[in-house]
Amino acid sequence: MSAEKTNLLNLDHAGLEAFVAEIGEKPFRAKQLLQWIHQHGVDDFDAMTNLSKELRAKLKERAEIRAPKIVMDQLAHDGTRKWRLEIDGGSAIETVFIPETDRGTLCISSQAGCTLNCAFCSTGHQGFNRNLTTGEIVSQIWLASKLLGHGPGGTRRITNVVLMGMGEPLLNFDNVVAAIRIMLDDLAYGLSRRRVTLSTAGVVPMIDRLRAECPVSLAVSLHAPNDKLRDELVPLNKKYPIAELLDACRRYCADAPRIKVTFEYVMLEGVNDSVAHARELVRLLSDVPSKVNLIPFNPFPATRFKRSSQEAIDRFRDVLIAESLTTITRKTRGDDIDAACGQLAGRVLDRTRRSRRPASTVNAE
């Protein structure tokens, strides 16, 4: 039996350099491979015309460029596009492209399912299968770039990447960071650090590691202004309570005057959307460099929650703005194809037996 081939989509620049050294080639070959794979979207070694025939033959024997298969491709009325990708082992993950006039944002997944079980999130309800490999994370950009093609004048359609799809990126740290390095690499996607946003439910020690190893824009799923409520909505809060989380956020912004953390806050009717909650949130964030993103709750089957009314969302926003907190309400995009925040479900072969756990008591009706 022949040895398993190395999937080059798994390797960042350093990884590719190690790989080419192993097959007796010079380091600059890693640069050429990065460009062929990520800038030209090539998966066939024969198309790499500046490599010798011998090298191409060696690569064909030892390596492959293999992305997950697209099993669904949907377009919403507002132009949002969602792909479902089948990964080895039978689960499926989802990736969403959100076009806007001045940018194009790709929302990617980092795990098949999620272990965190946030009360209002559809991914959480599905259970957890496994971490994605670096290649599976990067493949989402690789595939989307190929399928979207270039914009007018050869501009890139994908200008921003957000790790806000399925999964908790900081619980798949090494693979996520290698994937981000490829996104930032000028020989690959060349995105600037502020155009890559990692969203976390608050894995405190990993926020510090991210800052040390690969600082990018940070979003934190806060959703509640006190521990009692947050314990119920985001169970991870019992392990890393709000005070510790905000300390980590302050450290993340230290020595970087222009950097702010984006706090995501899902608006749940009658749960966390009162004026009193808004005031509590203002006090909480008063000494953290912050922006707030209010996310109207997106319903999914079997949820007990309802979206706050537009009036409640506006009232909440006005309280924050009156206290000079930069606040925007996230537009709901792609909800007719279940592509909006918290609606990504894919297909998760659950290995946690979550369905047998008792449901949380929040807002039980």
Residues near ligand SAH, by CB under 6 A: 118, 120-122, 164, 168, 199-201, 221, 264, 266, 295, 297-298, 341-342
Between 65 and 340, CB nearer to ligand SAH? 340
**Count of CB atoms within 10 A of residue 79's CB?**
13
Among all residues, whose Cβ is closest to ligand SAH? 342
Of 105 and 199, the one with the shorter C-beta distance to ligand SAH is 199
Whichever of 94 and 264 has its CB closer to ligand SAH, that residue is 264
Element counts in the chain: helices (H) and strands (E): 11, 14
Alpha carbon distance 8, 52 (integer Å)? 18
Considering the candidates 17, 94, 232, 264, report the single residue annotated as catalytic. Answer: 94
Please, which residues bridge with residue 267 across strands?
296
List Cβ neighbours of 227 (8 Å cut-off, separation of 6 or more): 237, 241, 242
> How near is the Cβ of 293 to ligand SAH at its closest, in Å?
8
Q: Specify burial of residue 152 (Cβ count, 10 A radius: 0-12, 13-18, 19+).
A: exposed
CB distance 123 to 115 below 8 Å: no
Least distance (Å) between residue 155 CB and ligand SAH: 27
Query: Least separation, in Å, of the C-beta of 41 and ligand SAH?
Result: 27
Q: Token pair for residue 105?
A: 């944002």
Least distance (Å) between residue 47 CB and ligand SAH = 36
Asked about 341 being catalytic, the answer comes back as yes
Comparison of 11 and 320: residue with beta carbon closer to ligand SAH: 320
Pairing, β 63-64 against β 6-7: parallel
Dist CA 309 CA 21 (whole Å): 59
Helix ranges restricted to H, the chain: 13-22, 28-34, 53-62, 122-125, 134-148, 173-184, 204-213, 227-233, 242-253, 275-284, 310-322
Nearer to ligand SAH, 134 or 272 (CB): 272
Q: Looking at beta carbons only, is 25 or 264 nearer to ligand SAH?
A: 264
Q: Is 249 a catalytic residue?
A: no
Q: What are phi and psi of 135, to 5 degrees?
A: -60, -40
CB 265 to ligand SAH: min, Å: 8
Q: What whole-number distance in Å separates Cα of residue 172 and Cα of residue 176?
A: 6
Residue labelled with tokens 């509590």 = 280
Query: Strand pairing of 81-86 and 69-75?
Result: antiparallel
Nearest distance, CB of residue 32 and ligand SAH, angstroms:
34
Q: Which residues are catalytic?
A: 94, 341
